[in-house]
Amino acid sequence: MSTLFSPFQLRDVTFRNRIAVSPMSQYRADDGHANAWHMVHLGRFALGGAGLVYAEATAVTRDGRRTHGDLGLWEDAQIAALAPVAAFLKAEGAVPGVQLAHAGRKASERRPWHGETPVDQADVAERGEAPWEAVGPSPIPYADGWPAPREMTEEDIQATIQAFGNAARRALAAGFEMIEVYAAHGFLIHQFLSPIANQREDRWGGSRDNRMRFALDVARAIRAQWPEHLPFAFRLSATDWLDGGWEVEDTVVLAQKLKAEGVDMIDCSSGGVGGKERPRRMEIKQGFQVPFAAQVRAEAQLPTMAVGFLWDAARCEEIISLGEADMVALARELLDDPNWPLHAAAQLGADEGHGKWPVEAGWWLMKRDRLLSKLGLR
């Protein structure tokens, strides 16, 4: 029996398999509101057999958007457009999830195909999109050529923590059953965690305990609004890949503390806080972040998700069967093939006759295969 296609349970939520659709920003929202693009983009992954489908990084405040096209849950009016998306995902057998985010000093950025650089007056002329002020734990620019963010005040910090809690309440109202907090890749929570971006001298900076305070307060604010029977996760950059930065040993300690605050899973990614250049310590290959998921799982005694450069079904099966992680998350591989889980099931002997496919497609594919076999064509 395939372990990749075995069920998995967190709290009262059961995933039909161990495959998650990683949050993938599409930059197609209208002032934070979802639209038909999001229904089709996310819906195809549920039809394709994934166990968990995450909506993309969804801003908890307007100023916390990365781009003008980001999804949002910073106001109640944004619930209605996401509700049918979550309902469709659930109806087709996937657990509907959403990633809550604040971009911090990476806010006010152009969409990738517009340059992935700070918005300026040229964008006002070309697209009617104006820049806004980014904030962060310290006034340190994200990269060369980027403006320094405004250092957050105590009032800013408390308001942002509460914004995460309020967004969780709205996610529940929209019908989502899993939340992931985006605390990786140089977004705001990661900025507080990493000494590369956080050089504060108050209770929010300095020692590791102080730098973890913001993440832990966000976790408490979310769990206060998120029902006990529903799970939520944190995506962490397990290491900054930079000397003097956040390391995997820090991630283990944070995971243990998050577990005590009601967090159910750690999604183990890495990097993203040190500017646009790839850190020299980072060696990219298939599954290069899996060891982080394995270490956090073993040492923090918390379920983990492996993510990053995963595309081979046999390797994903191995990750689960060896206990390196409890789930695997794919992104660009699923953009290329939204039916990857169904094809993987056939490859691993977990599906015969297209039985895992939606019947509206599986029935026709089964009929096709029988005809081709009868004619000796396949």
Q: Domain residues of the chain, as ranges? A: 8-347
pLDDT per residue as tens digits for the range 180-195: 999 999 999 999 999 9
pLDDT of 222 over the 80 cut: yes
pLDDT per residue as tens digits for the range 237-261: 999 999 999 999 999 999 999 999 9
Q: What is the pTM of this model?
A: 0.97
Mean pLDDT across the chain: 96
pLDDT per residue as tens digits for the range 328-369: 999 999 999 999 999 999 999 999 899 999 999 999 999 999
Residue 378: per-residue pLDDT: 84
Q: Tell me the two tokens of residue 114.
A: 């517009």
Contact 237, 246 (CB under 8 A): yes
pLDDT of 279 over the 80 cut: no
pLDDT band of 174, cuts 50, 70, 90: very high
pLDDT band of 3, cuts 50, 70, 90: very high
pLDDT of 277 over the 90 cut: no
What is the full DSSP assignment across 150-166?
Answer: EEPPHHHHHHHHHHHHH
The percent of the chain in helix, strand and coil, each rounded to the nearest 5, is 40, 15, 45
pLDDT of 168 over the 80 cut: yes
Q: Identify the architecture of domain 8-347 in CATH.
A: Alpha-Beta Barrel (3.20)
Residue 80 to residues 48, 86, 88, 134, 151, Cα–Cα distance (Å):
25, 10, 13, 28, 34
